[in-house]
Amino acid sequence: MSKRRNGEGTFERRPGKRWRYRILVNGQRVDGYGATKDDAQAQAEARAAIVGERPARETFGELYAEWCSLDPSSVGLRPTTRDQYATLIRAHLTQLHDVRLDRLDKRTAATALRLPGASPSVRRATYAALVKVLDYAVDAGLVGVNVARQVPRPPAPEARNREVSTHDAQAVLEQARGHRYEVAAWLAFGCGLRRGEVLALRWSEVDLKAGTLAVSGNVTRSSAGLQRGATKTRRGRRNVPVPPVVVQALKAHKKRQTAEQLVAGSAWEPTGLVVTTELGRLVEPRTLSRVWQRWAKDAGVADTGTHTGRHYAASTLLASGAASVADVAAQLGHDPAVLLNTYAVAVAEGQRAASHALGASLRPMGTTRGTTRRAAAATD
């Protein structure tokens, strides 16, 4: 088979009526999509010119500074994620700072991403950060190909067995009793809400009579400040059943909040949030984390993070055998595949419970039939 020359490649129509192009330029694969075949060919020619004839001579450090100055949404990121990526690059990829973009190749990127001594999660996140910055360079026409995408993605860290016992959950709830943020613990343990989802929940989204709530937002702190934004993922927007014990906790909390509002008077900010400061404002996520950490330590619980509430809800629901993985994933706003990997032990327990129920339904009927036949014979 003869080698393809620069700019030669393939064009194929994909589902959704878009055209995909793949070309080779100086040994590098360049691919993308166009609305029509002509559009795809035009984009391929433009990117081939960038790779083969006029690569950008600015440095990666200059590109990084430009990327950091952009609005996060313009590069498809949430503010907190953009801030995290910026920090990772600044901390771990300093060796790329003075590398010119026209000299940044797959080998250079792979060497920079080795990160000896870093945890698997840090290596994986740093890889994602570099990919995002170089994606911007491709979109801006500074380079024709993202060399980071040619580097194998670091493997995901091994899933930890995140078991939270009923004793631990009850102990933390006992320590939270009477605290102004007590209801946050009930929403985490009883409904599986994330920290940011708890802080973003509004009373208009809670139906105490029906015992349901709607998750629609997430509170985060980033360089843009403290704000209530969209949920962490698209699956995050969901309706969640509320157990009766959590309904009671919400009712008690609402009474306390109404009393606080009367005391605050005109200083109260009418945000409509369930969990607020003394003046009705957004609660800093780190503040809730510090309070939760104190509850856990006083309760003698080893894992002091707010995520223990969500883990307890997930593992308990899965181990009960009363709900499928899909049902639990929907309630938690989780990816079913990730849920299976993260809570493998709980899933196995749930499968055993379901297996026992299946076996009970197939109990032999020989004794019953024999008794019935003998009774019928005696009658005859």
Whether 54 has a pLDDT exceeding 60, the answer reads no
Share of the chain above pLDDT 90, in %: 54
pTM score above 0.95:
no
**Residue 145, pLDDT score:** 84
pLDDT-derived band at 5 (thresholds 50, 70, 90) equals very low
Fold classified for 166-310: hpI Integrase; Chain A (1.10.443)
pLDDT mean over 130-137: 94
**Residue 258, pLDDT score:** 96
CATH number for the domain running over 56-158: 1.10.150.130
Higher-pLDDT residue of 138 and 215 is: 215
- Give which of 41, 38, 36, 39 is closest to 14, Cα–Cα: 36
Torsion of CA 36, 42, 44, 47, to 10 degrees: -140
**What gap in Å lies between CA 38 and CA 44, rounded to an integer?**
10
pLDDT mean over 270-282: 96
Higher-pLDDT residue of 10 and 371 is: 10
Please tell us whether the domain made up of 1-54 is placed in CATH 3.30.43.
no
Retrieve residue 234's tokens.
């698209």
Q: 28: part of which helix (H) or strand (E)?
A: strand 28-34
Residue the block writes with tokens 């699956």 = 235
CATH 3.30.160 in the chain, residues?
1-54
**Residue 345, pLDDT score:** 64
- Give which of 378, 168, 195 is closest to 285, Cα–Cα: 195
Question: Do 122 and 84 contact (CB within 8 A), yes or no?
Answer: no
Q: Can you tell me whether residue 129 is helix, strand or coil?
A: helix
Whether 217 has a pLDDT exceeding 80, the answer reads yes
Whether 274 has a pLDDT exceeding 90, the answer reads yes
Q: 226: part of which helix (H) or strand (E)?
A: strand 225-229
**What gap in Å lies between CA 275 and CA 294, rounded to an integer?**
18
pLDDT digits (tens, 9 = 90+) for 29-44: 777 888 888 888 888 7
Of the listed ranges 127-131, 158-162, 210-214, 312-316, the one predicted with least confidence: 158-162
Q: Can you tell me whether residue 281 is helix, strand or coil?
A: coil
CATH 1.10.443.10 in the chain, residues?
166-310
Share of the chain above pLDDT 70, in %: 83
Residues whose CB is less than 8 angstroms from the CB of residue 150 and which lie 6 or more positions away in sequence, other chains included: 28, 29, 106, 109
**CA 135 to the chain's CA centroid:** 21
pLDDT-derived band at 6 (thresholds 50, 70, 90) equals very low
CATH 1.10.150.130 in the chain, residues?
56-158
pLDDT mean over 86-105: 94
**What gap in Å lies between CA 60 and CA 99, rounded to an integer?**
6
**Residue 1, pLDDT score:** 34
**Residue 2, pLDDT score:** 40
Question: Where on the phi/psi map is residue 280: left (φ > 0), alpha (ψ -120 to 50), or beta?
Answer: left
**Residue 7, pLDDT score:** 45
What phi and psi, each to the nearest 5 degrees, are found at residue 241? Answer: -70, 145
pLDDT mean over 197-215: 96
Q: What value does the mean pLDDT of the chain take?
A: 85
